[in-house]
């Protein structure tokens, strides 16, 4: 429906009114000009008739004494004298037997007047007659016809004057009409802008009150509606924020609590199954807290905890996707997606920061930490047991560094080996000239990129089991071995080819997606790419050039990218919408920040963080999701629930009026190449909805 409205063609009311007024003005003034010219023409014809009649009477009386044979010469001379004045077209005299005695004719028309004007407004001077007597006997009939030349010139000059006056009146009328319509339609533009703003999630009041009473009613109604929406949004957002703080945040530090950690841990473990990202869990203990509380009081202990929380948050600030949690009085945990090399650097940085922060009052040391690479499918309880044992071990043996070597040892690579791997990766990207590839070349065979990327796809469905869109993922590989996404991006950044890597991923996806028709397909835009102006220019130029050859697209962007730079993200979304591409915010709620930022973003879907969906059995989580759903529906945004692992969760989501679902309980994650090979989609584009089977 949205697309139909967008593509609907029409003409603005302003253009229609201007056209109507201009047309009516031309019609009325044109008709008036024509009537004036016609009236003048009839007047001149009457004048020509009167002139001819007077000449006939006057000349007839003058030649009456000369009607004998000898006198006709004098009568003819007198006739010639009058005819030669140029005001007569024809003068003739015929006797009673019809024999023409005198005949003078001048048919030449004036050269001053254009021939088209003469054809359009012809003058037909009548022939006027007068009887001529010889004594008491009628001698004959004198016929006189005036010449229209002078009258044509008069009519032409008058027409030019009337046309000039009419044109001036038309211009004056149009100018006056323009200012009147501008005054009337100006407020209508504001109303239109306000209405468009509502559809784009911008709820702004119209402070300009129009003079027209009917428009005043419309403006007042729109302002009331917008005010009600804003009030409802603010109230429900306050409820959601308050509930989020009560349930998921630590009151002292403002950090997420243990329950939030449990949810995020489960969500990250679920996501890494098809992307093989490295997940690191760091436990930081504050060993001096109990003694500080006893020695200086709980206020000093609180300051100690807040200082440590701020220091840890600042240390992790430059990392990728991460979150800091306070899980007990003296323990802080950090969950992050990291490359192995970044984890080692971070471990060294933590040791350095804790050493600098140490003071004499911290009798047991400022902080101790231990960091582990979480094994796939490892439970949260098992991880915490490992961390507790390791931190006790480090404390006993006075071990400074907390990073524990990866336990899934067989695939572990040294730093040199990773360097060699990504040098090959870099060479592959350069072999395809990704940095300079044209839009047309993207749709050709990019065989080299297929050696380092796999395209995965998972549908998002609605309550009627119809596909809303299919989300795509790029998985990295080399020599048919899957590589962790975080490691790939970290090494690409170290090699200085992160921009080329982002372009390569998009080129690969677009090349694959040309084989899809009708089905809407989502592409994930990374945080780095979203805020990279050079990449954005390339992306929108490329999409604009290829849009007719691609299926309908949708961009998914992470909530953390929006919070990192709101203005940059809003600009990206506006550019995306200008191309007719829809937008989804994913991992919504994972940052536990206020939801008010979505009010002025022109987005179509919100995909809540999977940790909430996994925790739906809890009453407060259900209430929280229900509140978020009401907020989003109130501003025209649809809600998507990811990580739906079974039909019980799906039913719970639908009961909460969630619009769409995604997860292994509904559809598995498919390899795009296997789907294409089975259905020969490279020979003819096909709809993904017809290829996927509902579980």
Report which of residues 536 and 210 the model is more confident about. 536
What are 151-190's pLDDT values in tens digits?
Answer: 888 888 888 998 898 889 888 888 888 888 877 777 777 7
Residue 379: pLDDT band by 50, 70, 90 thresholds? Answer: confident
pLDDT at position 684, please?
Answer: 66
The beta-strand segments (E) located in 246-285 are 279-285
| Average pLDDT over every residue of 277-298 | 86
Q: Would you state the pLDDT for residue 406?
A: 58
Alpha-carbon torsion angle 683, 689, 690, 692, nearest 10: 100
Measured CA to CA, the distance from residue 263 to residue 587 in angstroms comes to 12
pLDDT digits (tens, 9 = 90+) for 655-665: 999 999 998 88
CA atoms of 530 and 536, how far apart (whole Å): 7
pLDDT > 60? residue 565 = yes
> SS3 sequence, 187-234?
HHHHHHHHHHHHHCCCCCCCCCCCCCHHHHHHHHHHHHHHHHHHHHHH
Chain Cα centroid distance, residue 147: 72
Contact 662, 640 (CB under 8 A): yes
* pLDDT recorded at residue 400: 64
What is the tens place of the pLDDT at every residue in 295-337?
Answer: 888 888 899 999 999 999 888 887 777 889 998 888 999 998 8
Mean pLDDT over 369-376 rounds to 86
pLDDT digits (tens, 9 = 90+) for 541-560: 889 888 888 889 999 999 88
- Taking alpha carbons only, the member of 346, 303, 308 closest to residue 325 is 308
What's the chain's length in residues? 695
Asked if the model's pLDDT at residue 243 lies above 90, the reply is no
Mean pLDDT of 248-256: 88
Residue pair 276/475 in contact (Cβ under 8 Å)? The answer is yes
Q: Where residue 434 falls among pLDDT bands split at 50, 70, 90? A: low
Q: Among candidates 308, 347, 313, 311, which has minimal Cα distance to 330? A: 308
Residue 410: what pLDDT? 40
Q: Tokens 């991992």 label which residue?
A: 587
Q: Rounded mean pLDDT of 201-217?
A: 77
The better pLDDT of the pair 131, 497 is held by 131
What does the alpha-carbon distance between residue 154 and residue 8 come to, in Å, rounded to a whole number? 55
| Selection from 430, 433, 325 nearest residue 380 by Cα | 325
CA angle 52–58–62, rounded 5-degree value: 135
Radius of gyration, CA atoms only, the chain: 46
pLDDT category of residue 582 using cuts at 50, 70 and 90: very high
272 — pLDDT class (breaks 50, 70, 90) = low
Q: Which of 93-107, 202-216, 232-246, 680-694 has the lowest mean pLDDT?
A: 680-694
pLDDT in the model for residue 244: 80
Identify the weakest region by mean pLDDT among 127-141, 189-203, 360-374, 627-641: 189-203
Cα separation, 51 vs 29, whole angstroms: 32
Q: How far is CA 665 from CA 266, 461, 466, 537, in A?
A: 16, 12, 15, 38
Strands 279-285 and 331-337: antiparallel
- DSSP class of residue 148? S
Most confident of 1-15, 78-92, 479-493: 78-92
Beta strands at 605-608 and 582-588: parallel, antiparallel or unpaired? parallel
Return the closest-CA partner of residue 598 out of 559, 627, 649, 565. 559
Q: Output the pLDDT for position 586.
A: 92
d(CA 632, CA 607): 11
Q: What is each CA distance from 568 to 265, 319, 522, in whole angstroms?
A: 29, 20, 21
| Span 641-647, average pLDDT | 89
Scan for tokens 């994972």, then name that residue. Answer: 590
Q: Does pLDDT of 443 surpass 50?
A: yes
Other Cβ atoms within 10 Å of 272 Cβ, number: 19
- Cβ-proximal residues to 678 (8 Å cutoff; 6+ apart), any chain: 691
With a cut of 50, say whether residue 694 has pLDDT above it. no
**Nearest Cα to Cα of residue 296 among 369, 253, 359:** 359
The answer, yes or no, to whether residue 695 has pLDDT greater than 50, is no
pLDDT above 70 as % of the chain: 87
Mean pLDDT, range 33-59, rounded to an integer: 89
**Spatial CA neighbour of 530 closest among 506, 548, 507:** 506
Q: What is the pLDDT of residue 10?
A: 67
* pLDDT for the residue numbered 607: 94
Residue 65 burial (CB count, 10 A): 12
Residues paired with residue 368 on neighbouring β-strands, in sequence order: 285
CA dihedral 9, 13, 18, 22 (to 10 degrees): 70
- Residue 237 and residue 232: Cα distance in Å, rounded? 8
Nearest to 474 by CA among 432, 503, 441: 503
Choice between 447 and 529, residue whose per-residue pLDDT is larger? 529
| pLDDT at residue number 523 | 93
> For residue range 75-91, what is the model confidence (pLDDT) as tens digits?
888 888 888 888 888 88
- What pLDDT was estimated at residue 107? 78
Decide which of 466 and 517 is more confident.
Answer: 466
| Spatial distance between the Cα atoms of 484 and 373, rounded to a whole number of angstroms | 12
> Average pLDDT for residues 128-146, to the nearest whole number?
86
Average pLDDT over residues 476-497: 74
Confidence (pLDDT) at 316: 85
Beta bridge partner(s), residue 553: 521
Residue range 619-623: mean pLDDT, rounded: 86
Under the banding of pLDDT at 50, 70 and 90, the label for residue 134 is: confident
Taking residues 439-445, report their average pLDDT.
64
What does the pLDDT read at residue 373? Answer: 87
Residues 6+ apart with CB under 8 A from 228: none
Render pLDDT for 494-538 as a digit per residue (tens, 0 to 9): 667 777 788 888 888 888 888 887 789 999 998 888 888 888 998
How many other C-beta atoms can be found within 10 angstroms of the C-beta atom of residue 107?
Answer: 7
Q: How far apart are CA 501 and CA 490, in angstroms?
A: 11
Angstrom distances, CA of residue 47 to CA of 119, 142, 147, 150: 20, 19, 11, 11
Distances (CA, A) of 503 to 34, 434, 436, 452, 565: 68, 7, 10, 14, 21
Average pLDDT of the residues in 413-440: 59
Q: Write down the pTM of the prediction.
A: 0.69
Q: Mean of the pLDDT values across residues 140-153?
A: 88
């Amino acid at each position: 429906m949205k697309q139909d409205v967008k593509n609907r063609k029409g003409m603005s009311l302003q253009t229609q009114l201007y056209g109507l007024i201009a047309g009516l003005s031309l019609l009325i003034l044109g008709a008036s000009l024509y009537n004036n010219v016609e009236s003048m023409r009839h007047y001149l014809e009457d004048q020509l008739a009167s002139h001819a009649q007077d000449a006939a009477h006057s000349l007839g009386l003058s030649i009456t004494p000369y009607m004998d044979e000898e006198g006709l010469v004098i009568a003819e001379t007198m006739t010639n004298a009058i005819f030669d004045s140029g005001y007569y077209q024809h003068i003739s005299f015929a006797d009673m037997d019809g024999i023409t005695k005198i005949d003078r004719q001048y048919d030449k028309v004036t050269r001053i007047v254009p021939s088209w004007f003469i054809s359009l407004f012809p003058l037909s001077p009548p022939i006027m007659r007068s009887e001529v007597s010889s004594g008491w006997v009628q001698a004959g009939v004198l016929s006189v016809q005036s010449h229209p030349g002078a009258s044509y010139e008069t009519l032409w000059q008058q027409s030019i004057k009337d046309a000039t006056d009419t044109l001036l009146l038309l211009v004056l009328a149009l100018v006056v009409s323009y200012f009147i319509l501008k005054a009337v339609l100006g407020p209508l533009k504001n109303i239109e802008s306000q209405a468009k703003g509502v559809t784009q999630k911008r709820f702004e009041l119209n402070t300009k009150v129009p003079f027209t009473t009917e428009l005043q009613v419309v403006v007042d109604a729109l302002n009331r509606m917008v005010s009600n929406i804003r009030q409802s949004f603010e109230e429900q957002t306050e409820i959601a924020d308050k509930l989020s703080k009560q349930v998921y945040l630590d009151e002292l530090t403002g950090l997420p609590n243990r329950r939030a950690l449990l949810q995020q841990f489960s969500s990250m473990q679920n996501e890494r199954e098809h992307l093989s990202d490295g997940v690191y869990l760091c436990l930081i203990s504050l060993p001096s807290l109990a003694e500080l509380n006893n020695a200086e009081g709980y206020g000093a202990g609180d300051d100690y905890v807040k200082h440590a929380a701020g220091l840890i948050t600042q240390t992790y600030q430059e990392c990728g996707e991460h979150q800091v949690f306070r899980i007990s009085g003296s323990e802080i945990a950090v969950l992050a997606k990291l490359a192995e090399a970044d984890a080692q650097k971070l471990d060294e940085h933590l040791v350095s920061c804790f050493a600098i922060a140490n003071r004499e009052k911290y009798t047991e040391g400022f902080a101790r930490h231990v960091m582990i690479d979480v094994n796939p499918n490892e439970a949260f309880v098992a991880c915490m047991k490992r961390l507790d044992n390791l931190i006790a071990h480090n404390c006993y043996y006075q071990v400074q560094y907390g990073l524990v070597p990866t336990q899934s040892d067989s695939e572990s690579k040294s730093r040199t080996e990773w360097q060699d791997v990504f040098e090959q990766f870099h060479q592959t990207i350069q072999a395809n000239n990704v940095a300079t590839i044209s839009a047309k070349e993207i749709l050709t065979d990019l065989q080299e990129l297929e050696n380092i990327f796999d395209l995965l796809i998972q549908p998002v469905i609605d309550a009627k089991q119809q596909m809303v869109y299919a989300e795509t993922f790029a998985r990295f590989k080399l020599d048919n071995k899957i590589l962790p996404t975080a490691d790939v991006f970290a090494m690409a950044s170290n090699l200085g080819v992160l921009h080329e890597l982002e372009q390569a991923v998009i080129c690969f996806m677009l090349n694959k997606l040309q084989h899809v028709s009708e089905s809407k397909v989502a592409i994930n835009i990374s945080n780095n790419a979203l805020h990279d102006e050079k990449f954005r220019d390339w992306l929108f130029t490329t999409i604009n050039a290829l849009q007719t050859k691609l299926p309908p697209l949708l961009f998914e962007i992470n909530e953390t990218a929006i919070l990192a730079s709101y203005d940059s993200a809003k600009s990206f979304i506006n550019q995306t919408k200008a191309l007719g591409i829809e937008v989804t915010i994913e991992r919504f709620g994972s940052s536990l920040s206020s939801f008010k930022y979505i009010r002025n973003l022109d987005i179509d879907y919100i995909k809540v963080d999977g940790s909430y969906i996994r925790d739906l059995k809890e009453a407060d989580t259900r209430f929280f999701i229900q509140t978020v759903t009401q907020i989003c529906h109130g501003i025209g945004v649809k809600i998507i629930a990811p990580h739906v692992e079974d039909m019980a969760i799906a039913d719970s989501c639908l009961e909460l009026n969630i619009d769409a679902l995604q997860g292994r309980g509904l559809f598995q994650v498919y390899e795009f190449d296997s789907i294409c090979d089975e259905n020969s989609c490279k020979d003819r584009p096909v709809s993904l909805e017809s290829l996927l089977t509902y579980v």
